Structure 1
Amino acid sequence: MSQNSLAIFDSLTADWFRHTLGKPTAVQDAAWPAIFSGVHTLVSAPTGTGKTLSAFLVFIDRFLAEARSGTLKEELKLIYISPLKSLAGDIRENLRCPLNGIYEEERKQNPSAESTFSKLTIAIRTGDTPQKERRNMIKHPPHILITTPESLFLMLTSQSGKKILCTAQTVIIDELHALIDSKRGAHLMLSLARLDELCAKPLQRVGLSATMKPLHLAAEYLSSDPVTVIAPAMQKKVQLEVTSPWSDTRLLQKDSIWHELAGTVVDLCKGSRSVIAFVEGRAYAEKLAYHVNQLAGEGFARTHHGSLSKEQRFEVENELRNGNLRLLCATSSMELGIDVGDIDQVFQIGCPRSISSTMQRLGRAGHNPDRVSVMYIFPRTATESLYCGLTAQVVRNGELEDSRPPRLCLDVLAQHLVSMAAGEGYDLDDVMAILPRAYPFKSVTREDVKDVLCMLAGDFEHERNIPVRPRLLYDRIHEHVEGDSYSRMLAISVGGTIPDKGLYAVKTENGVKLGEVDEEFVFEARIGDKFLLGAFAWQINSIQKDTVVVAQSSMYGARPPFYKAEIIGRRLQTGIAFGKILGRLSNALEKDTLLQELHQLGLDDTCAQIAFDLIKRQYNATQGLPDDRTIVIEHFRDETGTHQMMVHSVFGRQVNAPLAILVREAAKRHIKTNISCFDDDDGFLLFPYGEYELPEGLLQSILPETARPI
């Protein structure tokens, strides 16, 4: 089978692959024939299985063959779309490996042959691309363009960009799993549908993704035409251990968790070359790096997150790649496929927020298919000890959350309607021809589009006598749309779905950008305060309109900045999986085998004992545990005598938050007072003001017959 898949390549390419990499992986074996045949292809496999080369090698081989025969035109042929700007540079460097290797193979076999290496051009077009390179791209289009969803949208908005794009034949979408559940993915899919209309014929689409499900939905999302799915069964060995950072359970009562945690992390790093510690938040990354460096010395740990400048992130990535950095404290910014070399093991600080992200992080260690991926999970509280064990077991079982692409994204549609108007204009029929080719917009009707166009033309404001300049010019009689300079300015300045968070730039007195901090943090900060950023301490010298000017300082008195972030709750599917395990633990408690069951979840002795005590206390208080078929309702009075009702539900915030609202409204019908409500992934709490008592049966009073599906 492997020899057959290599047979589709030129002998130079096949010889380079055999000499350098040996046999193709199962993914490459299955993907190359499908991609070579020109069909839309979805490649879904774990990290480190050669997905990128499975997508690119067919086209590299084809372009080099055209260069040798003199038929390679100076025009764009392949577009590679990355969700991260930082991935773009990695991909360009990774492409140089096969290109250099094939060139060396060619030189060995025919020393007098003219090199074709320099004839194949690769360019990057992101927000960081200098204007000089962008202008050069217009005069000399690259054969391979590496870009992001937002930059592709901007190119579709401009005439010069469309001139470059119109010759493209193939598009590769990397990290599809990171886009499919968001409006950013919907934005990209509509851009690709417009690209199909722009080019001579619809582009061949190749989607690359980590393990995801359901695959039939991902394939339908990738293209409205038939898609070949490549997802060979691959048994990747994993090792997940829930490890206590406490040497004594009594330390749970003390505020020493980060010091204890840092000590454990340093000990586990001693036998490793490079380690990544993932945390759930930028402030925690800075905090962990600070405590580790206090113990192991400055420079032992660095941080990597979205609020660091690209130069700082690039420096850290290079240090890790070259083996000069022992520990990297990172957020989800390191989940995707940034190449950082060989990682021995991965740490997870606290309970991860989703199963899919845990799998992505786990795949960072033991990157090759034949190596074991090792992750140590460190709980910080008693509750986390239990839920870290539940998460580890669900990961071992391979129970991924199902993808749920958003539909009817009319705000995204509005951006594209303005962008299209910035060109030659269009008819309503043109829009209706494009929408079925983008999965999130298949259900958008002609009337929906008309309503959005009327909104963009200013009808909403005009009905209220509010002066406004139309975003586009809509001829309702002939159903024709045109734009003006204002339309183009809007499309360029507000395109995309990444929100503007109002962050302040952090710069040195010389103007070197170090990163960003939250506006609210700056509001509470004062000149002279110290904070941590990039594992270094900085002192505030001045606060300007949108910039904080700092100077490097000693660590003493520095604190991590805080950031506001959207909290993504546990999926219902994961909550049900947790509930099934909790049901087993409840039965084990009755049979007096609970400790053994907790050890089977991967908890060490200390974590197992902490989780055992937690479950025992909960069971004694409520005579039961919540599970996949049980919601536990607990009525109690706090130390002030206020009556409260706690609803224990494992189904996650996405269920608990709306359910809490319904129960609160039901309670208001019984007691005429304000009722406060707090919800999280594990349930919700209700308490009235005053001496009122919440009645029983509130949950049962909510009738399913009165609900409608959404």
Structure 2
Amino acid sequence: MASRRQPHSTAEQWLQGRGWKSFPFQREAWQAIAQGRSGMLHATTGSGKTYAVWLGMLDALLKRHWAPAGSAAPARKSVAEPLRVIWLTPMRALASDTTRALAAPLAALAPSWTIGQRTGDTPSAERARQDRRFPTVLVTTPESLTLMLTRSDPRADLQGVEYVVVDEWHELIGSKRGVQAQLALARLRRFNPQLVTWGLSATLGNLEQAMEVLCGRDAQPAPALVRGRIDKKLVIDTLIPPDPGKYSWAGHLGARMQQPVVDEIARAPGSTLVFTNVRSQAEIWYQLLLEAKPEWAGEIALHHGSIDKASREWVELGLKEGRLRAVVATSSLDLGVDFLPVERVLQIGSPKGVARIMQRAGRSGHAPGRASRLTLVPTHTMELIEAAAARRAAYEGRVEKREAPDKPLDVLVQHIVTVALGGGFRADALFDEVRTAWSYRDLTRAEFDWALLFCERGGESLTAYPDYHRIALGEDGVYRVRDAAIGRRHKLGIGTIVSDSAMHVKYMSGASLGTIEEGFIARLRKGDCFFFAGRLLEFIRVQEMAAYVKKATRSKGTVPTWQGSKMALSTEMGDAVLQMLRSAAQGDFVEPELQAARPMLETQARLSRIPTPEGLLVETFRSREGFHLYVYPFAGRHVHLGLASLLAWRLARERPNTFSMSVNDYGFELVSPQEFDLAPIIDRSAFATGELLQDVLASLNSTELAQRRFREIARVAGLIFSGYPGQPKSARQLQASSGLFFEVFRKYDKGNLLLGQAEREVLSQELELSRLRSTLEAMLAKELWLMELRHVSPMSLPLMVERFREKLTTEQLSTRLDRILRDMEADAR
């Protein structure tokens, strides 16, 4: 903590008046802001980032707008200032908490200045008041800021904005929402070239690049990178299961950890956050806690993005006031919300990334000087090793990088219509402006002109349809939206978050519980029961895009599943796990997690080998199913999916064969009824990187993958209208529409750049082609360890189970596993 010193600003005086001391990094940020510099502040969660930036900006605003000429002291004014500061938050849930934090010094130092929120949850009456006069400080989201750019004269409304802060920049930078923010900032800089932009983050590995993406390549004066180094203790430990066993597979330890988790919550002095990676897992663990401790009803709660807003707010308030013993949550509570009573964080399963574990740990001890503690709860034995690896990587600061998307044309198309709606633009000026956004730094004039023509006439194939003539060139050389109906539809479709159509879940009385994806509801029959929002519900009927339910009288039900891929192991985590396995291979089981996993690791060493950074483990096995090949690159499930498809295609190229495959975060399995030639594995030709793109595309149903990705692109680009409020289109209608556009463009508009974007996104995001290439290069550089198995190894069994789960019922799977394990144990004796 910094020593007590004389405050050099009004804002800092306010800070000290509350008995708080400023940190050196806060004063560094204040100084940079006073110099008119943009920048990036990277500091531990709960260390005071918000006030580091806000107090510096508030002090500068007070000096500029409250002090009359020749006066050293601020002159109190009763007139509210116009909009001066925009604070961007990635989540609506953060807006209220952020507003409260910003309002405290504002009320004391500039009581006539106003602060407000503008998100999708803002009531229409408040929006109307803001439309007449914006507050001095506005907390909003990228989508709502973009909507502000569609006003009839956005320059008049926004040219007075002097500061923009982007909170939790690490959550936005790698997504199209981040690109949307880049374009909005480019527009605001056109209105006010002196605009100062700051980003806040706690978990980024490429800070300099992240700052350049946010502040612009040519920002003057040079942006400031401020690193907040304070003594905040981070404690990461693991809830070790009793006797994890010699073999394990996904979910093997899950329910066995029920009582240990209950015991940890019972011992915690304050509230506990129990994080899961997916919503269905959150629903399951909430029920497990209630099953073990029914007397905790009312003291524990459930929080995820599909639950009704009012219920989420009740949970958040309960956490703030310390009324709740525990809350089971997903990433909906990952960010920025300040829950001081939270003393412990439990993470169910592996967090799969170093940044995520640090972010979630920061939810506890969320104040300077308080320790943050996170306890990992493994659901299978390999997650014990992941836990030890994650702790070491976090303590060493090996945090993942976040890369911004490269010129997504669907976002550009949406932005062109937005600017045309907001007063219009000249083509040359908008091209120059868009290229100042980092993601479009390499945008060519030909690509921009194509996007312009696509907005104007719908490209080559939609010229005959007036609905796709969204902008028109006026005699004054300015492009504008002429049709009011097109403008209304565009405003309703602004944004880059695309998900399957969701249905409201309601009681017969009309009370809303939240939303579930339409696909899950479509599989239900009347009388079916399912768990949602912590309740067991009985399905009654669907009416007007709402699923009506009642409280179930039975004791069992299914758990909804939500679309979206599982989190994949990051590169940093994969490397850390292999380093941990190297210790085990050398007989070093010093970490408690390795000691617990020792029986499994020693069994792996006896039957095969333990993978390490130096060697690529490849196992072969014969069974009644045929010939099995197991490869362990430790590159994450997305890369392994691409590798498995690529390897199967290359192995079958010389001699036709049929393969089944399965993947997890550690490796992949190929199974064929016929034995295949291992020579391409042994001589490494199967891992070659030459002609990689062509081989990957040939090995997959790339057209189907691209068509699926095109559905999202079509909605962002405004080709598909999701419907008016209260009249949404169904998922089936949206899929049919996007499929029709995809086929029309393929047949009649082969130069359509959105088709090329769909293919690029499949390769870069779903298959992670660049990481796939680097993984192949790493595989080629390692020593090859080819092991022929007599029995399934502990590393290969989870891959076999993944494949069984797709074909067998739970009972059949259990029977099959029992037989496999009995055979192995009998042989071991």
TM-score, normalised by the number of residues in structure 1: 0.89
Q: State the match for 2:50 in structure 1.
A: 52
The one-character-per-residue Cα deviations of 1:370-426 (angstroms, maximum 9, x if unpaired) are 222211111111222222222222222221012212111111111101111223332
For residue 169 of structure 2, the aligned residue among 176, 179, 184 is: 176
Amino acid paired to 1:496: G
**Residues 303 and 535, structure 1, Cα contact 8 Å, conserved in 2:** yes
Q: Alignment partner of 2:547: what SS?
A: strand
Greater shift after overlay, 480-489 or 165-174? 480-489
Report the secondary structure of 2:327's partner residue. Answer: strand
Any residues of structure 2 matched to 1:695-706 within 5 Å, and which?
695-698=678-681, 699-706=684-691
Q: Deviations over 1:284-342 (max 9, x none)?
A: 11111111112222123211111111111100000111111001111111110012222
Q: Does 1:681 align with 2:665?
A: yes
Mapped to 1, the partners of 2:610 and 2:255 lie a distance apart of 33
Aligned to 1:693: 676
TM-fit CA distance, 1:5: 8.6
Tell me the CA shift for residue 471 of structure 1. 3.9
Q: Whole-Å Cα distance in 2 between the matches of residues 254 and 145 of structure 1?
A: 45
Q: Do the aligned partners of 1:578 and 1:628 also contact (CA within 8 Å) in 2?
A: no
Question: How many angstroms apart in 1 are the aligned matches of 2:3 and 2:387?
Answer: 44
How far did residue 123 of structure 1 move? 1.1
* Aligned with residue 24 of structure 2, among 26, 32, 35: 26
1:569-580 paired onto structure 2 within 5 Å: 569-580=568-579
CA distance in 2, matches of 1:64, 1:559: 57
Q: Which residue of 2 aligns with 1:208?
A: 200
Instruction: In structure 2, give the amino acid aligned to 1:575.
Output: G
Look up the match of 1:268.
264
The answer to whether 1:608 aligns with 2:605 is no
Preserved CA contact (<8 Å) 1:462 1:468: no
Determine the structure 1 residue equivalent to 2:146. Answer: 153
Read off the aligned partner of 1:695 and give its amino acid letter: L
CA 1:644–1:477 in structure 2 vs 1: closer, same or farther (change >3 Å)? farther
Contact 1:290 1:535 in 2 (8 A): yes
Distance 1:202-1:407 versus aligned 2 partners, 3 A rule: farther
**Which residue of the partner structure matches residue 595 of structure 1?**
589
Residue 111 of structure 1: aligned partner:
none
Q: SS where residue 324 of structure 1 aligns? A: coil
Any idea what SS the aligned residue of 1:150 has?
helix
Structure 1 pair 439–527 and aligned structure 2 pair: CA distance change class (3 A): same
C-alpha displacement of 1:232: 3.4
Q: Verify the 8 A CA contact 2:361 2:374 in the aligned structure 1.
A: yes
- Are 2:521 and 1:522 aligned? yes
Q: Deviations over 1:424-461 (max 9, x none)?
A: 33222112221232111111111110122233334545
Are 2:238 and 1:242 equivalent residues in the alignment?
A: yes
Shift of 1:161: 5.4
Distance 2:689 2:378 in 1: 38
Q: Which residue of 1 aligns with 2:630?
A: 646
Tell me: CA distance 1:530–1:250, structure 2 relative to 1, closer, same or farther (3 Å): farther
Partner of 2:619: 634
Go from structure 1 to structure 2 and tell me whether the alpha carbon gap of 1:703 and 1:364 turns closer, same or farther (over 3 Å shift).
same
Q: What SS is found at the alignment partner of 1:288?
A: helix
Secondary structure of 2:498 counterpart:
coil
Name stretches of at least 5 consecutive residues in structure 2 with no aligned partner: 67-74, 694-768, 771-829
User: 2 CA distance for matches of 1:95 and 1:326?
Assistant: 28
Contact 1:43–1:207 at 8 Å: present in 2 too?
Answer: yes
Identity of aligned residues (%): 27
Q: Secondary structure at the match of 1:429?
A: helix
Q: How far 1:565 sits from its partner (Å)? A: 1.6
Is 1:484 paired with 2:482?
Answer: yes
1:17 deviation in Å?
1.7
1:366/1:554 CA distance change after superposition, 3 Å: farther
Encode CA deviations 1:554-606: one digit per residue, 9 max, x unaligned.
572244322122334223343223323322322x2xxxx3433x42xxx2xxx
Contact 1:471 1:490 in 2 (8 A): no
Q: Deviations over 1:122-154 (max 9, x none)?
A: 111111112211111122221001100000011
Distance apart, 1:162 and its partner CA: 5.1
Question: Which range moves more in the overlay, 495-504 or 77-86?
Answer: 495-504
Cα 1:6–1:629 change in 2 (3 A) is farther
Once the two structures are superposed, what CA deviation does each residue of 1:273-294 show, in whole Å capped at 9, x if it has no partner? 1000111111111111111112
Q: Do the aligned partners of residues 84 and 674 (structure 1) sit closer, same or farther apart at CA in structure 2, a change above 3 Å counting?
A: same
Aligned to 1:190: 183
Give 1:15 shift. Answer: 3.9
Compared with structure 1, are the counterparts of its residues 504 and 245 closer, same or farther at alpha carbon in structure 2 (3 Å cutoff)?
farther
| Partner Cα distance (1:620, 1:146) in 2 | 59
Could you say if the C-alpha distance between residues 4 and 321 of structure 1 is closer, same or farther in structure 2, counting changes exceeding 3 Å? closer
- Compute the displacement of 1:98 (Å): 2.6
**What residue identity is the alignment partner of 1:704?**
T
User: How far did residue 249 of structure 1 move?
Assistant: 5.0
Q: Which residue of 1 aligns with 2:564?
A: 565
| Alignment deviations for residues 234-261 of structure 1 (CA, whole Å, 9 cap, x no partner) | 3432222221344775997999955532
Counterpart-to-counterpart distance in 2, 1:210 and 1:642: 49
Question: 270, 274, 278: which is aligned to 1:277?
Answer: 274
Name the CA distance, whole Å, in 1 between partners of 2:650 and 2:51.
57
The alpha carbon displacement at 1:467 in A equals 4.3
Amino acid at match of 1:213: G
- Give 3-state SS (helix, strand or coil) of 1:532's partner: strand
Is the contact made by 1:377 and 1:388 (CA closer than 8 Å) also made in structure 2?
yes
| SS of residue paired to 1:94 | helix
Residue 447 (structure 1) aligns with: 446
* Aligned residue identity for 1:444: L
> Corresponding residue for 1:361?
360
Q: Distance in 1 between matches of 2:250 and 2:381?
A: 13
1-structure distance, mates of 2:660, 2:562: 25
Matches within 5 A, 1:539-554: 539-553=538-552
Unpaired stretches in structure 1, ≥5 consecutive residues: 104-115
Letter paired with 2:201: S
1:526 aligned counterpart, secondary structure: coil
1:120 CA displacement: 1.2
Match of 1:109 in 2: none
Q: 1:303 corresponds to which residue?
A: 302
3-state SS of paired residue (1:368): coil
Residues 69-91 of structure 1 show CA distances to partners (whole Å, capped at 9, x for unaligned) of 33855411111100011111111
Is 1:625 the counterpart of 2:610 in the alignment? yes
What is the alpha-carbon distance in structure 2 between the residues aligned to residue 255 and residue 335 of structure 1?
Answer: 23
Distance (whole Å) between structure 2 residues aligned to residue 42 and residue 6 of structure 1:
26
Whole-angstrom distance in 2 between the partners of 1:295 and 1:155: 50
Q: Distance in 1 between matches of 2:249 and 2:688?
A: 43
| Runs of 4 or more consecutive aligned structure 1 residues displaced over 6 Å after TM superposition | 3-6, 250-256, 476-479
Distance in 2 (CA, whole Å) between partners of 1:6 and 1:411 is 52
Report whether the alignment pairs 1:217 with 2:209: yes
Name the CA distance, whole Å, in 2 between partners of 1:16 and 1:574. Answer: 43
Match of 1:95 in 2: 102
| Contact 2:238 2:377 survives alignment (8 Å) | yes
When normalised by structure 2's length, the TM-score is 0.76
Stretch of structure 1 that moved more, 611-620 or 467-476: 467-476
Q: Equivalent residue of 1:69, what SS?
A: coil
Structure 1 CA distance, aligned partners of 2:647 and 2:40? 44
May I ask how many residue pairs the two structures share in their alignment?
676
Code of the aligned partner of 2:101: N
Tell me how large the CA RMSD over aligned residues is: 2.8
Q: Distance in 2 between matches of 1:646 and 1:372?
A: 42
Distance 1:120 1:293, change over 3 A: same
